[in-house]
Structure 1
Amino acid sequence: MSAITSPSPGSLTLDRSARQPLVRIAGDWTLAHYGALRREVERLLPSLDAHCQVELERLGALDTAGAGLLVELLGQERIAAIEAWGPPLPAARLALLRSVAAALNRPEAPQPIQGYAFGDVLAHIGQAVSTLWRQQRALLGFIGLTLETLALSLPRPRRWRLTSLTVHIEQTGLDAIPIVALLTFLVGAVVAFLGATVLADFGATIYTVNLVGFSFLREFGVLLAAILLAGRSASAFAAQIGAMKSNEEIDAIRTLGLSPIELLVLPRVLAMLITLPILTFIGMLSGIAGGLAVCVLTLDISPIMFFTIMQRDIAINHFLVGLGKAPVFAFLIAVIGCLEGFKVSGSAQSVGEHTTSSVVQAIFMVILLDAIAALFFMEMGW
């Protein structure tokens, strides 16, 4: 036992004089002697095979570094069966050797499958379609949950959040009037310029009035207002709810026995349902005003003639078609913004990603539904 416990540098020798090669392991196999032992292991390892005898009787101290060298030298299988061929070692030393062997016996990482260009494109398309399908399923489920909560809250006036509703009406509606009015006025002027330029070749510049009236009453008024609110309000909803999610405020709301849908989603949805039709009406008026300014300044069409042509040629149903799309767009924009806020995982990066996703999804859904509605109303003759 004195040879085992005496402090001495570790050593490794190979005796070839016997019938079978004999590997003698002696001394302390510790970190202090790791460099010399590493060189000896690398020197003798190519000469060893599975039939070599191993002598461990004079093995001294052992730590993790030395155990790693022994595992590398003797191999996983021989270490696993050390009790069958080796001397009786202390339990702690056996446990150390087996733990190091298990840690080093990790499966190699699988080599990435080499794909090809067409297969990668198909895989990317499949992933995109799968992601879109999951998003639409989540959106439909959240719409159903919102409508259910709204139906349960409407008959109970005590549960209405009038203060929150008023605040969101101001933020999404009143504060957005200047940008909506300015943008639609400029777009109306651009549409009138374009119409006047194209129709001048046919001697029909007078129909610029019809072009401006039809385009803003049916499409541009509601579409521009919805896109502006999708970028302005949907992102704000996602960021606000996402920040609350990351700060665990929504968990606190649930702990208090309150419904996050009723407390956070319904005021935003109702505010959008109120403000987007109003902003759509303002956008229609501003776009027509922009077209009127161009007609008066460049086409010598008086304001009286402008409004006379609109009253004569443009029916009221075009105004109703444009205004009727506003509540649908408002509901979708608000629901998408709130849903993306609830999807936040807790980090600042997640807040930014879902805020961006809310804007992209809201604008995409607005344009998609507007195109479907335009085809439907055209086929119906409205």
Structure 2
Amino acid sequence: MAEADPTLRYVQRGSASVLEVGGTWTVFSMKGLRPKIGKARRATQGDSRAAATLVDARNVERLDTAGALEILQLAGGGPDTTVEAAGEHHAELFKVVQGNMCVPPKPRHVDWFTRWLEELGRDMVGLGQQTRALCAFIGEIIIVFLQACVQPRRFRVNAVVQQMLEVWVKALIIVGVLTFLIGVVIAYQGVQQLRQFGAETFTVEAVGIGMFRELGVLLTAIIVAGRSGSAFTAQIGTMQVNQEVDAMRTIGLNPIEWLVLPRIIALVLSMPLLAFWGDMTGLLGGAVACIFYLDFTLVQFFDRLRDTVGIWHFYTGMIKAPVFGFIIAAIGCFEGLQVRGSAESVGQLTTRSVVESIFCVIVLDAVFSIIFLLANV
């Protein structure tokens, strides 16, 4: 049997405006209802919006939640609108829908300063939550590492070697070229500035101390953050999108042990090697510049470097390197595991991973500088 189409009209009963509805009011039957609504309103109040204080729904044959909501909205009323229903079931449905109707809040005008404070506060809360989650993640890594130390077979040596090939061997060229050029720049600037005081020979000390203590390891860490840290996020994030990480958890494999730990161990071992390579190529760049600008020979440059630059300058950079490697790998893996939904999330979190890694590396470098200053090293 075909269902009756929904009907409606606005009428006046004394001083009250009444909306009379009938037929079937369900989500499937209300298609094409808008022309009828417009016609009923024009017949009652011209082009103005009709409003009714009473709804006569006694002729409604079938009703669902969507139909009840549509009727109450057509009445233009809210919780105070009176509804006459055909039966107890319809009356209860109108009561439930009417009780859950709410008036949308008025738009609040907010000046630019208040909006800026709100955004700042929201960012600070997000930063706190992100820091707490990262600290919890690092704690979980430490626990898994200690468990693996108790059971050495849990260390995936093949995976560590494979990751070291990616983050160490394949990064040698880019790290070497950039640090070599930075060494040239430092030497050139040193010669130009120190020549004003007749102390251009101290360029050797400037290049050696600058590369050993700060620039060698810091530039290497920034390059690794942009190259390897982002790769960790993209790899694990893609596995998240493809639900491979969920599949690992389903079969009882710990993603921290299988995905995160090999990458962290590989980068912690590789960073000192890369930093050492960066120091050597940076010194070579400085030596080449001194050959051109100071008429030094290569042997003279390294003899003066050996005599004037203490070994602790080299050690301070090497102490920083594994710490930088750990934080870069931890942030890269952490952001990869935060990926949700789509490939767009992979790109966003990869960018965030690089930014956070570089920020943390610079903050840690400042902390190390203060510690070494207090220790007189």
Q: How does 1:187-206 map to 2 (within 5 A)?
A: 187-206=182-201
Aligned partners of 2:208 and 2:19: how far apart in 1? 99
Aligned residue for 2:27? none
Q: How does 1:238-277 map to 2 (within 5 A)?
A: 238-277=233-272
> Could you tell me which of 19, 37, 42 is aligned with 2:40?
37
Aligned residue for 2:374? 379
What is the CA distance between 1:112 and its match in structure 2? 3.8
Aligned residue for 1:370? 365
> Could you tell me which of 137, 140, 145 is aligned with 1:145?
140
Determine if contact 2:16/2:52 at 8 Å carries over to the other structure.
no
What is the CA distance between 1:76 and its match in structure 2? 5.1
Letter in 1 for 2:335: E
> Could you tell me which of 183, 208, 211 is aligned with 1:213?
208
Letter in 2 for 1:198: Q
> Could you tell me which of 73, 82, 97 is aligned with 2:84?
82
Determine if contact 1:281/1:323 at 8 Å carries over to the other structure.
yes
* Number of corresponding residues: 365
Q: How does 1:65-76 map to 2 (within 5 A)?
A: 68=70, 72-73=74-75, 75=77
Please give the TM-score of this superposition, normalised by the length of structure 1: 0.83
Determine helix, strand or coil for the equivalent of 2:121.
Answer: helix
Q: Superposition RMSD on alpha carbons, in Å? A: 3.6
Identity %: 37
Alignment of 1:302 onto 2:304: no
Determine helix, strand or coil for the equivalent of 2:150.
Answer: coil
Aligned partners of 2:122 and 2:60: how far apart in 1? 58
What is the CA distance between 1:75 and its match in structure 2? 4.4
Aligned partners of 2:145 and 2:289: how far apart in 1? 45
For residues 67 and 113 of structure 1, do their structure 2 counterparts lie closer, same or farther at Cα, with a shift above 3 Å needed? closer
Aligned residue for 2:171? 176
Determine if contact 1:189/1:291 at 8 Å carries over to the other structure.
yes
> Could you tell me which of 324, 343, 349 is aligned with 1:348?
343
Alignment of 1:186 onto 2:181: yes
> Could you tell me which of 313, 318, 325 is aligned with 2:313?
318
Aligned partners of 1:244 and 1:143: how far apart in 2? 20
What is the CA distance between 1:308 and its match in structure 2? 1.5
- Between 1:214-223 and 1:36-45, the stretch displaced more is 36-45
Aligned residue for 1:98? 94
Aligned partners of 2:326 and 2:291: how far apart in 1? 38
Aligned residue for 1:132? 127
Determine if contact 1:164/1:267 at 8 Å carries over to the other structure.
yes
Letter in 1 for 2:216: G
Determine helix, strand or coil for the equivalent of 1:82.
Answer: strand
What is the CA distance between 1:245 and its match in structure 2? 1.3
Determine if contact 1:184/1:221 at 8 Å carries over to the other structure.
yes
Letter in 2 for 1:37: A
Residue ranges of structure 1 left out of the alignment (5+ in a row)? 84-88
Please give the TM-score of this superposition, normalised by the length of structure 2: 0.84
Aligned partners of 1:25 and 1:375: how far apart in 2? 80
Aligned residue for 2:228? 233
What is the CA distance between 1:46 and its match in structure 2? 9.1
